[in-house]
Amino acid sequence: MFKKETIKAYNQEYGIADFIEFNEGAGGFTFVHIKNNHAEAQISLYGGQVTHYQPFGEEPVVWISPLAEFKYGKAIRGGIPICWPWFGPHLYDTKQPQHGVARVSNWSVVNTCILQDQQVKVVLRCDQDVIDQLTEWKGVTLELTIILGRALTLELCTYNHTSVKKSLGGALHSYLFVQDINQAILRGLKTTQYLDKLDNYTTKLQTDDVTLEKETDREYINTKADCFLWDKALNRHVKISKGGSGTTVVWNPWKTTSKQMTDFPDAGYLTMVCVEAAITAQDEYILLPNESHVLSQTISLI
């Protein structure tokens, strides 16, 4: 059973004055508040999920739903959900949660430290009891390293300590804030093929930069490209780069689907878009015995 540390114990062992502080937040969850001279961020230990990222003097870069439910068993809507060890529905077991178990599990703190240029580093580990209940994943460990510097970097590291190869999936399912979706352009995917989930996963070609004018749910394949979200209304660009992933998922639920989600405002689609570093079912990574894999994403204002 996951041992729930007290806030005081966490601050004594892993807190660092002026940079890292643990506190109790929504839903009674434990949050890590991190900051430096560049930005601040917040991470929920439930889900190992970044729920806030805001460079000083700027609007938030990461979007969180004002209707997000902070309840065990439910994924927090917004921020950067950790989808692991599969993306989307489980291949055959309908009882398993969409997007895997990591985002609905408790995470514990492994290490905290300050690097050069006031970079704040936090390392979390997913509850091994939960992972071990997945027959095919027993003995595999999962850690998340979060580094807050001039950018926000997440490194999701899967360690296969077993003697059996694993078919790994997942995503860093980043919800990005935009002032007005109608004035946003996502660059970096022009001439890239994508699977259109809303059209039976038909393969299509992205002939121009991506604009969002309707419900959009696309898996851009065979791409390691950096993406650039141009928020014209805020007159800023967000750079999203990634590692360990060949697929970039772009999602905006638009009007109808927004209304169908109880933890998502009806007009929420107007101020967010998901740009995800993903390993999807068609892009699975075969993790060999005693091998590790890092899925990473770096988000920054440029």
Binding site for ligand TA6 (CB under 6 A): 75, 88, 98-99, 173, 197, 217, 249, 251, 274, 276
CB-based closest residue to ligand TA6: 251
Give pairs for 9-13: CB < 8 Å, separation 24+. 10/109, 13/109
Residue 66 per-residue DSSP state: T
Alpha-carbon gap, residue 119 to 113, rounded angstroms: 9
Choose, from 276, 284, 291, 293, the residue flagged as catalytic.
276
In the numeric block, the tokens 């490194």 are attached to: 155
Bridge-based pairing state of the strands 30-35 and 247-252: unpaired
Between 9 and 267, name the residue whose CB sits nearer to ligand TA6: 267
How many CB atoms within 10 Å of residue 25? 17
Torsion of CA 19, 24, 25, 30, to 10 degrees: 80
User: Whole-number minimum distance, CB 104 to ligand TA6, in Å?
Assistant: 10
Which residues, including other chains, have CB under 8 Å from residue 183's CB and lie 6 or more apart? Answer: 231, 232, 233
Between 22 and 175, name the residue whose CB sits nearer to ligand TA6: 175
Between 38 and 77, name the residue whose CB sits nearer to ligand TA6: 77
In the numeric block, the tokens 């095919």 are attached to: 136
Catalytic residue list contains 173: yes
User: Whole-number minimum distance, CB 103 to ligand TA6, in Å?
Assistant: 8
Between 60 and 97, name the residue whose CB sits nearer to ligand TA6: 97
Q: Which residues pair with 236 in a beta bridge?
A: 231
Tell me which residue of 101, 103, 104, 110 sits closest to 132, measured CA to CA.
101
Alpha-carbon gap, residue 293 to 285, rounded angstroms: 9
Between 147 and 278, name the residue whose CB sits nearer to ligand TA6: 278
Which residues, including other chains, have CB under 8 Å from residue 252's CB and lie 6 or more apart? Answer: 181, 212, 215, 216, 269, 272, 273, 274
Residue 100 per-residue DSSP state: B
User: Whole-number minimum distance, CB 274 to ligand TA6, in Å?
Assistant: 6
- Residue 89: cis peptide before it, omega within 30 degrees of 0: no
User: Whole-number minimum distance, CB 42 to ligand TA6, in Å?
Assistant: 19
User: Whole-number minimum distance, CB 49 to ligand TA6, in Å?
Assistant: 11
Choose, from 52, 99, 173, 293, the residue flagged as catalytic.
173
Catalytic residue list contains 40: no
User: Whole-number minimum distance, CB 8 to ligand TA6, in Å?
Assistant: 33
Between 89 and 289, name the residue whose CB sits nearer to ligand TA6: 89
Catalytic residues: 173, 276
